[in-house]
Amino acid sequence: MRLLVIGGVAAGLSAAARARRLDASLEIVVLEKSGTISYGACGLPYFIEGRVRQAEDLVVYTPEYFRKERNITVRTGAEVVAIQHPRREVQLRSGERVHYDRLVIATGARPLESAAQANEFTLHTIDDARRLKQFLVEKRPRRAVVIGSGYIGLEAADALRRNGLAVTIYDRNRNILHRDDEFLTGTIRKHLEQFRIDLHMGCEGVRDGADLVILAQGIRPNVELAAEAGVEIGRTGAIRADERMQTNLSSVFAAGDCVQTINVVTGCPAWLPLGTTANKMGRVAGANATGARERFPGIAGTIIVNVCGLAIGQTGLSVAQARAAGFDPVHARIDSLDRPRYFQGKRITVELVADRQSGRLVGGMVLGDEGVAGRLNVIATALQNRMRVDDLEMLDLCYAPPFAPVWDPVLIAAQQLKKV
């Protein structure tokens, strides 16, 4: 029995590793079209910045490791160009055909726009980062334009600023991080201005005069291979799979950035490509490919990014997004300290959004210098468990002066939201 996995980064290798843990007798083969597997793509901006010294430091495992330690065959430079499911085989660009009994599709996503000029770069793969780093060293650009204000665009802008470049961000959208939140956009704008990063929202990028251009306006799922094989595509444009990561084709599973899931707040299909989601999807797909009955419940849409020292975290829905989803939203936003003032507490902002009728929490946002991730995780956990504001207000959160004030900012925000 052979399990074939297309894609050797987050979702694909998670699927292969999980399948091996559950079935020692299964033959597992992973096909990866690039030359590198299992690397931390989220660390690419920090390699550009210089905090990560070498691109190789981002590589977690090698094909040799999987062969020796996991008994998994990983083939690099093996690009699949067709899936012929009736014959249970895939065709490689070389012309070789590879048989499978069960298949996991983890083809990921790609940038919306490809680099067309010598000074244009995407920051999607480890090879992209190597090329950009080489350009910075050899050409020593002075002015950079970043197209896009998602988390990759913001991290890239910060990394280039730390390399001494003058940076301008353009985005055709009017809201940063696609949050549809004027307060968030305004706050980040003011923060960027302190570090001399210009931000222009609601307009196309002006590239004339720039020595370097980063294309970071978004990505799209790689679904063409699956669609041509008869795999159903969902309303988001990504592969439609059930909670077991099973597609509409028997014995074919899908995971990662090429697959849509369910938003646990709205119950609607959602596509939010993140490494955390890809790894969990991959585990479920790999387990079920061996005959297990595991499920992936969906996502709350939790992301966090650090921009010029400011941590920005969000999960669930903004007020505008909640209203568009059919909720009757109310919100409360508080400014507090992450620790007591006498323990050098720093400012932190917490916003919570709830449905007026049910009292159910539907979203949250945390901004600050420190202590953001832990508090955002509390809110994300509340969303995943469909908690009401009353429940959140009474959570038994930790307290000690080095870590938090006696009334944690999340609890204060819940108290204020309850009043509303």
Q: Is the dihedral angle over the CA atoms 33, 36, 39, 44 positive or is it negative? A: negative
Comparing CA positions, the residue from 118, 134, 161 lying closest to residue 55 is 134
Indicate if 398 belongs to the active site. no
What burial letters (b/e) apply to 292-325, b meaning 16+ CB within 10 Å? eebebebbbbbbbbbbbebbbbbbbbbbebbeeb
Residue 201, classified by CB atoms within 10 Å of its CB into exposed (0-12), middle (13-18) or buried (19+), is middle
**Do strands 27-32 and 2-6 pair parallel, antiparallel, or not at all (unpaired)?**
parallel
- Give the span between the Cα atoms of 82 and 90, in whole angstroms: 6
- Tokens coding 317: 């829905």
Walk across the sheet containing 120-121 and list its strands: 120-121, 212-215, 143-147, 166-171, 197-201
CA angle centred on 23, ends 17 and 28, rounded to 5°? 55
- Give the span between the Cα atoms of 327 and 321, in whole angstroms: 9
Out of 42, 258, 308, 398, the active site residue is 42
Strands (E), 101-221: 102-105, 109-111, 120-121, 143-147, 166-171, 197-201, 212-215, 219-221
- Give the span between the Cα atoms of 368 and 338, in whole angstroms: 8
Query: Residue 418, Cα to own-chain centre: how many angstroms?
Result: 31
- Give the span between the Cα atoms of 224 and 71, in whole angstroms: 30
- Give the span between the Cα atoms of 60 and 42, in whole angstroms: 13
* Catalytic positions, written as ranges: 42
